[in-house]
Structure 1
Amino acid sequence: MASPLAVQGGTAVRTRPWPAWPQPAPGVRRAVDEVLDSGRWSISGPYRGVESYERRFARAFAAYHGADHCIPAASGTASLMLALEACGVGAGDEVIVPGLSWVASGTTVLGVNAVPVFCDVDPDTLCVHPAAVEAHITPRTRAIVVVHLYSAVADMDALKDVADRHDLPLIEDCAQAHGATHHGAKVGTLSTAGTFSMQHSKVLTSGEGGAVITQDAELARRIEHLRADGRCLATASPPTGAMELVETGELMGSNRCISEFQAAILTAQLAVLDEQNRRRRDNALLLDQHLERLGLRPQTTSPGTTSRTYYTYAARLPDGELTEPAVADVAAALTAELGFSVLPSYAPVPANRLYAPRTRQRFALGLAHEELIDPKRFHLPVCEDTAQRTITLHHAALLGDAEDMNDIASAVEKVLRHGAALAH
């Protein structure tokens, strides 16, 4: 007789450990020790006669993408806010963002006193739908933000066409897509600016951190001032012991700088990114085959994608099956079988309990503004349906081998077989 579900006391499909994340790259410990002994732990510290790791990482990350400029920052949130403000977005402006994403897609727009306008997504790629973007453009629209979500690249051909026709800056949120390509070009270089997160869970991580890349020298200079209290790095090395940051008086900013420790870690981790991404892609293709056989629909990507990055593996549950239990219960059952966290898709941002502008006094800018940022005014049927039928796995699961993919498929098959019991 088949074992009952592990969540109901049965034997789990798997008890072996999964690949750990993060995985330190060769050279990380040496680089961190170098910073410890350097006497300079931040670019706001005195110059010590050697190039900072912040500059080394900026140069390496720009070269990796084929971008002219990279400005490291404290987080992905900081990076996106810097890009928005550098593009001229401010109080009362509307910014179009996807309705299916991490909550920061909304809070970053609020953070520059602008109004997030949430759009529905493509049901297959789960990225913002170009037609929905165009339908939401108004005279108050000042920018479009596109998120390359989970493992998909958004339809950049169509989105660039919309942005160009309406003369709007297009910002790529690449927090989940380090290394993905579209028509052979790295994401982040397909728009006005590309923003990245290096938070703990990301495929390139230093625990926390971020970056903005752009081909626009003037935009890069504004971002540099905005992230360092209105200062920018000197064009030539200063005397040892002097400050490398120059007080230009051009633009007031805030402190959103990355530390030397984070920059050192990222410089080393960047060297292994492509190989890790290749392994994830190979395993994702195997998992696609297994899950399609079981009736699931793995997330697809847009035309023009030449290389995917799997930050999260997402798949839609089979039509007509597992309709009674909530998707959270299905995910919990899979987690119990695998010993690895399986989660539902993100909730639509306006429905996310973490997206609550009324809990922050700083956003109380008058009744009219509060009505514009009220989450209840958005109806996003594709986002809502996706959240009820999609399961996701973190990319660490894809760093294993074919046997690991077989285990995932076996767990899904078992939960499908016991779906009726799970519903009670």
Structure 2
Amino acid sequence: MDQETAQRLYAEGAFLVFLGVPEGTEFGIDYNTWEVGPLFKGIKMIPPGMHFVHFSAVRGCGGKPGGKAEGSGPKSSGAGDRGPWGRETGPRTGFFHEFGKRELLVRKWDVGMEDAASEEVASDEVERIRASLKDLDRNLAPYPYDTLRRWVSLSGHVTGSVAARLLPLSGRVCAFAEMEPETPSSNSQQRLALNLPRNDTECSSLQEGEARLPIMKQRPGTEIRFSELPQHPFPLGASPADVTRHSLDRSLALDALLARHYPQDEHGILGELQFAFVCFLLGGVYDAFEQWKRLLALLCGSEAAALSRPRLYRDLIPVLYHQLNEVPRDFFVDIVTRDNFLTSTLQVFFSILSGADVERSLHQRAAMFKQHLTRKFRWDFDAEPEDCAPVLVVLPDGVVLPDGVVLPDGVVLPDSVVLG
């Protein structure tokens, strides 16, 4: 990067000053992760827009601090692991923030909690730091612009309003759910009040031991506030025919979700799809992956919506294109059944978008996306699904079916069965 470009980016970019981060901590923004050194105090030249700041506490003696940013993605899945030389990396925690031009965001590290401090930094201290930014310049890592395009392709629909609606009330995204007992039962008096056995007596059975364990719940305010999908794709009291119709075409459920959560902008659901994917990919949040799958199945199974909302579906395809570039070929294969969730979901999707009534530009974009996935992953979207294959009905030899019997589509009878 030449000096003129660097000066322009410095003048227009935002600053994240993070004070007190221990040496060796894994710290990152978007697709970049560092092992911080003793002089690290934050990041400069951050492009205005939405970003994901993340970090993991590290214990033990590791390698050399101050490593370069890794543009190929996070060092760990976010779930916590034991790295080389006996280093133990804690669960990943992070937060989304929409940086403005020349904005200064100041955070502090809580040594006792091994996490970012929850208290906001006083405005007068922020202004003092702003006045001394030039003195901090050598302690601030420049944002790696070579990874910006990749980040934007994964987060372009995550607006400030979408992030504000989805983020936990705590403002933090954690790889592991923060749990607490449903009822206080840590001391003997509390346990007696709940008619629970005392903790200071020996267990007489496994059942008694399990009874002593507290019933846990996720700590209020720490859960990601994902959109709740309708429990059923059909309205209550629907006729059997309507149940079948709305189960095959889930547009009614999609319309209900959009009306409830994104009435002003239907593209908010794409923002939630990207938010969930980033929380899983970079934050290690498994519940986010499950929400991503639910949203994808809903979008890909809504035929009427694809006809009535062509712009939404045209923009969905590049979102999926960039997301699928981040995962290996067999990532979506169920390790038990060997079924591939994604191929079966996209098979329905491409079948819908190949219809004669689909808008031409959407039809063409879907066809190109299908060709790309077929070439890259060797997925066959034209193979007949197993549940649509002919069914062989086994009947005893010599059975004669009466005249007028109508066989369901796909049913094949053995040669030994005679239609009389």
Both proteins in one fold, TM over 0.5:
no
Largest Rg, 1 or 2? 2
| Larger RCO, structures 1/2 (Cα 8 Å, 6+ apart) | 1
